[in-house]
Structure 1
Amino acid sequence: MGVEELTNPLLAGFWNETRLRSDLVPVPRSAEPPDPGMNPIWMRIAEVLGLGYGERSGSVITKGKTLMRARTTPSAGALYPFEVLVAFRGQGDYLLYHYDAAGCSLRRLAALDPAEVAGLLSPGPGAGPDPLSPGTDGAEGLPDALVAVVARPWLAMRKYGRRGYLYTHLDGAHAATNIALAGADAGLTPVVRLRFDRRALSRVFGLDDLCREPQALVTLTAPAPGTPATGGAPAGSAGRPVNPFAVPIWRHEDGPGLEAPDAPEREAWGLVSPVSTYHQPRPLPLRFGTTASVRPGGTGRSGAPVALAGRDAGPGTSGPAGGPTENFGAVVLGRQSAKGFLAKPLDAGALGRTLAAARGRVAVDCADGPPAGLRLLVRHVDGVPPGAYEYDPEGHRLLPVGGDGGTEEAVVAACMNQGVAADCALLLALHAPVRQLLGERGQQGLAELHFHAASTAQRLCLGAAAEDIGITCLGGFDAGRIAELALLEPEEEVIYVLASGVADENAVKWDRAPIAYSHGYGPGQPGT
């Protein structure tokens, strides 16, 4: 018996009790398939995911004042109410993985039949082949990966109520757009599909009865051997940075499926059934092509157009698919949401180059879909008088509409009393004749419209990051007050709002707190 045991038997007993012991039971080595992580195309796609929807440097305050690492795309309340599933093309089957951005891993879920994958991408009778992804009629021409952005509405609805369902469309579209841009930058051919059969994809991907809605499908195709790449060099090669915060752990054995919904989530799923494209599909003919997400501006009413800098340059403007972007990796890793603004004017040249990013085009299966208009409420921009302007992407100019930019009190009230908007240099409002489009296109129109709005917002965020100016997306706003300040026509309704200006690095953005501050709920306000 040692000295310590004689003097402190309780401590000695604790030490003995907590020792780890193992039984001599032989553990058979599992028969693992060949490591698909060695496949260079798979590795390139993993790097695309890291840049498109991975974690980055910095952190954000979330519900309960906890910290989480920031990501390359924004989200209302930092909730990220969606999941990313990736079907990689293997030697025979497709292999389905769950991309866990927070856990930095790719976890295998199941093997998929290539014939069923081909069925998901089939243009259908009379539609003709897909010119953006040649050869999808047969297994030999299938894409190297299908990236499905799958909404989980409950994650947003438990904080924002039924409106949270709209945030799944916006947040997921940010990620889908960024993944497509990252894919183009890595030399792959991305195509965003919104008119696919959501129920069929749910069945093939094993999502039935999980209260999840596939909302966007991005196919990524590598060029055939010997074909010159249309984009940049693969990520990780010289001049193409990888995301050092999103190098995934590959888990190749089939593991547990996605988290099952509980009773409150099932109840929320039922609440969105009247407005969900999953529940109420309205098949629209496929229209393949490249399209801008911002519709051309009309004519100004109160003066001569204002020419903008950056007409021939800007993130996402090169290439028919909206990419690759020069220095995309560095720009996307530097993107962040401004928490507040300083009472300083914004440089007009930087604004012009930021808006140039919105001119980028994306390859889609809904080229005839409804794009959004972009109205600016200018408050403090050097050389640009305060007032409302419509952005014309074709001429890259501002068309004066009128007004005086509004008072600080009016702007903050229109943004649901969010202090982040107090000293912004301008508001950017994405708008459309929503009621008309809903009547014409139903739930599918709602999905496509919100995709285009968020796609534009993501490009604006990248443009702002490249110019080192502050920008933040606002999902909580009084649509009527924004429309009045921006002098929108009666049929035009606001879909999405961004605030921009000189960033205040010391500010706090309260929409990530447990209370929905972005909806006007805060100390001393109704609903708290």
Structure 2
Amino acid sequence: MQLPARDIVREYTEAVFRRARVPMEPLNFEVDWGDQPSRHTAYPAARTVPLPTRLPELATLRDLFTGASPSAPTGWSMTRLAALLRLSYGVLDRRMTVNWNQDVAKRAHFEHAVWGRGTASGGGMYPVEVHLVAGASAPLLPGVYHYDTGRHVLQRLLVGDVSSNVRAGLAGPEDTDSFLVASIRFWKNSFKYNSFCYHVVTQDLGALLGSWELLASALGVPLRRLLCFDPEPMDRLLGFDSDEQSVFAVVPLSWHTDTGAGDPAVPTRAGDGEVTPATVQVGHAAHERSQRVRRFPAVTAVHRAAATAPAVDPAAVLDAAPRPLPGDPVALPEPRLDLLDRPLSAVLTGRSSSFGRFRRPPELTVAELGTTLAFAAAGRPHPADAGLPADAAALTRLWVFANHLDGLPAGGYAYCARRHALLPAASEPDIGMSAFLQQQYFLTNYTMGQVGAVLAVSGRLDAVLDAYGPRGYRILNAEIGAVAQRVYCATTAQRVGCGAVLGFDNVSMDTALGLDGSDERTVLFLLLGRNSDAVADLEYRL
């Protein structure tokens, strides 16, 4: 008997949270690295449209945090769109660092090279695909385009204004005829993570959206992302088998034409025509490197459940925020704005994960921790097109496992953004915080004794499911991914090391924070610490 969609989502997430104790199926899975998919999807027969390659110097993180970023022009241009795409998901450089991580020897060989991108991705898989559906108002031929991340070009897949196929799936009317459409191709992640894939890729999507929101603010262009819609008309237009690839987010675009003097012209808008989807679909096929593409039943089941069209309850959305916590707050130093005084473009091109590179002393300072928490929390609210105010309460909370921090005793803390303070959640474990964290971490790529602090991002999954239905799982993970990307940006600006991980025993970590008996669960963790300067590394800018 088929379970209700919500129960399928809960069953999957429970398996995710307990996978440190009960492995997820398929058991004894082995990755076939020789048959992995390409990291860059391409359509060999499609025509290419060049994009501007110059990366602009953007507003600093300090300006973005204080609201001193550029005033918004009236719309997008191809120059701004190209900067958004390349700095968020395009290839920026080749990186090679000498460290103790177990795969470092392979990275010296070209076929195993690490190609840096501005947005973090679980395992470096980058499963999100970006398409531009351009209508008559766009500054290029109307049609459907795919962003080729490897070459930083658009590939034209279809000619003609088919924006009605996107609008047909949206929950409300949109006064535009052009859209960025973000889809997820599961095999680009599941070939490595099998059934765990869906949890990872939905956070990957959030990280990309977090980058887009920062970039749009720095470019001075408004950006809204839509997560509550019916993907079926868009999947059909793009030629997707929805069990293998599906649209997860839509960003409406309003265009303007650059005058040459830097002043925006009046934006062009879509007409108020009837939304009747065209009976066409993309005819080009993407290149598939893998000889065998596998599906995993757990991924298919949870995706079908979470794809159920949401029936949003605005009152329940407001009630889904984490509950206030008791306790005497520990004040944090005011955010060090001077530490955030780096352009966003430089931050994204320098962002990386600290695999095998954490070293101490010196210790991470409480000022650096507080600055990171404040910047990360400033971008959390994601109403997800539910008709809520932009300042609606966030669905997530940030926690701190203080390990080796200059100015803060070891222990567990909840971050209160309103007061910029920490609320003690638990004392240091009897075995010591480093030993506790290492005991709960079931991977081998980090040594907790070198980590200054572990940030945890939590949410009330059941309450979010009450608010959005099964789609709430994707919405919560999108906010979590966006928080992670902001943590990466804040730490990069401060020259602090960061690494996002999913390898902790969530059950034990929840218990350590006093979450037993509540409906709040930790979902993602971010390690903070010092990266050693005395290392040999290579960064070849593209």
State TM-score, norm by structure 1.
0.70
The within-5 A match list for 1:188-267 is: 188-208=221-241, 211-222=244-255, 256-259=284-287, 265=293, 267=295
Return 5+ residue gaps in structure 1 as ranges. Answer: 1-31, 124-128, 130-135, 232-253, 316-324, 509-528
1:222 is displaced (CA, Å) by 4.5
Corresponding residue to 1:338 among 329, 332, 354: 354
How far apart, CA to CA, are the structure 1 residues paired with 2:329 and 2:257?
49
Match of 2:92? 56
Q: Does 1:402 align with 2:426?
A: yes
Match of 2:83? 47
Q: Does the CA contact (< 8 Å) of 2:410 and 2:433 recur in 1?
A: no
How far apart, CA to CA, are the structure 2 residues paired with 1:33 and 1:499?
40
SS at match of 1:189: coil
Q: Aligned partner of 2:252: which letter?
A: T
Corresponding residue to 1:274 among 301, 326, 329: 301
Can you list the C-alpha shifts for 1:424-452, whole angstroms capped at 9, x where unaligned? 11111111233454466443111011011
The within-5 A match list for 1:18-57 is: 41-57=77-93
Q: Does the CA contact (< 8 Å) of 1:150 and 1:215 recur in 2?
A: yes
SS at match of 2:401: strand
Match of 1:413? 439
1:54 is displaced (CA, Å) by 1.9
Distance 1:80 1:230, change over 3 A: farther
Can you list the C-alpha shifts for 1:267-310, whole angstroms capped at 9, x where unaligned? 33x4423211577404223969xx99x95673343x43322321
1:210 is displaced (CA, Å) by 7.1
Q: Does 1:365 align with 2:399?
A: no
Q: Aligned partner of 2:471: which letter?
A: Q
Corresponding residue to 1:71 among 111, 114, 117: 117
Distance 1:274 1:391, change over 3 A: same
Deviates more, 1:213-222 or 1:456-465: 213-222
1:69 is displaced (CA, Å) by 1.0
Match of 1:104? 152
1:357 is displaced (CA, Å) by 1.2
1:461 is displaced (CA, Å) by 0.8
Corresponding residue to 1:327 among 343, 363, 377: 343
SS at match of 1:110: strand
Q: Does the CA contact (< 8 Å) of 1:464 and 1:471 recur in 2?
A: yes
How many residues in Structure 1 have an aligned counterpart in Structure 2? 424
How far apart, CA to CA, are the structure 1 residues paired with 2:465 and 2:76?
44
Q: Aligned partner of 2:442: which letter?
A: M
How far apart, CA to CA, are the structure 1 residues paired with 2:163 and 2:369?
46
Return 5+ residue gaps in structure 2 as ranges. Answer: 1-46, 54-74, 97-102, 265-281, 537-542
SS at match of 2:407: coil
Corresponding residue to 2:481 among 426, 433, 454: 454
Match of 1:115? 164
How far apart, CA to CA, are the structure 1 residues paired with 2:193 and 2:88?
25
Distance 1:116 1:419, change over 3 A: closer
Structure of larger gyration radius: 1
SS at match of 1:148: strand
How far apart, CA to CA, are the structure 2 residues paired with 1:56 and 1:499?
24
How far apart, CA to CA, are the structure 2 residues paired with 1:83 and 1:62?
28
Identity of aligned residues (%): 22
Corresponding residue to 1:354 among 358, 366, 372: 372
Q: Aligned partner of 2:511: which letter?
A: E
CA-based RMSD of the aligned residues comes to 3.9
1:341 is displaced (CA, Å) by 1.4
The within-5 A match list for 1:475-514 is: 475-491=502-518, 492-504=520-532
Greater relative CO, 1 or 2 (CA 8 Å, sep 6+): 2
Distance 1:382 1:47, change over 3 A: same
SS at match of 2:364: coil
Can you list the C-alpha shifts for 1:168-212, whole angstroms capped at 9, x where unaligned? 111121112212321222122111111021112212333245710
Distance 1:279 1:375, change over 3 A: closer
Q: Does the CA contact (< 8 Å) of 1:438 and 1:446 recur in 2?
A: yes
Distance 1:220 1:501, change over 3 A: farther
Q: Does the CA contact (< 8 Å) of 1:286 and 1:365 recur in 2?
A: no
How far apart, CA to CA, are the structure 2 residues paired with 1:192 and 1:87?
15
Q: Does 1:95 align with 2:131?
A: no
1:347 is displaced (CA, Å) by 1.5
How far apart, CA to CA, are the structure 1 residues paired with 2:491 and 2:263?
26
How far apart, CA to CA, are the structure 1 residues paired with 2:464 and 2:232?
23
Distance 1:396 1:72, change over 3 A: same
1:89 is displaced (CA, Å) by 3.8
How far apart, CA to CA, are the structure 2 residues paired with 1:195 and 1:41?
26
Deviates more, 1:179-188 or 1:469-478: 179-188
Can you list the C-alpha shifts for 1:441-477, whole angstroms capped at 9, x where unaligned? 4431110110111111111111111111111100222
State TM-score, norm by structure 2.
0.68
Match of 2:332? 307
SS at match of 1:464: helix
Q: Aligned partner of 1:156: which letter?
A: N
Corresponding residue to 1:186 among 192, 201, 219: 219
Q: Aligned partner of 1:68: which letter?
A: V
How far apart, CA to CA, are the structure 1 residues paired with 2:307 and 2:371?
40
Distance 1:177 1:278, change over 3 A: farther
Distance 1:438 1:314, change over 3 A: farther
Q: Aligned partner of 2:369: which letter?
A: L
SS at match of 1:181: helix
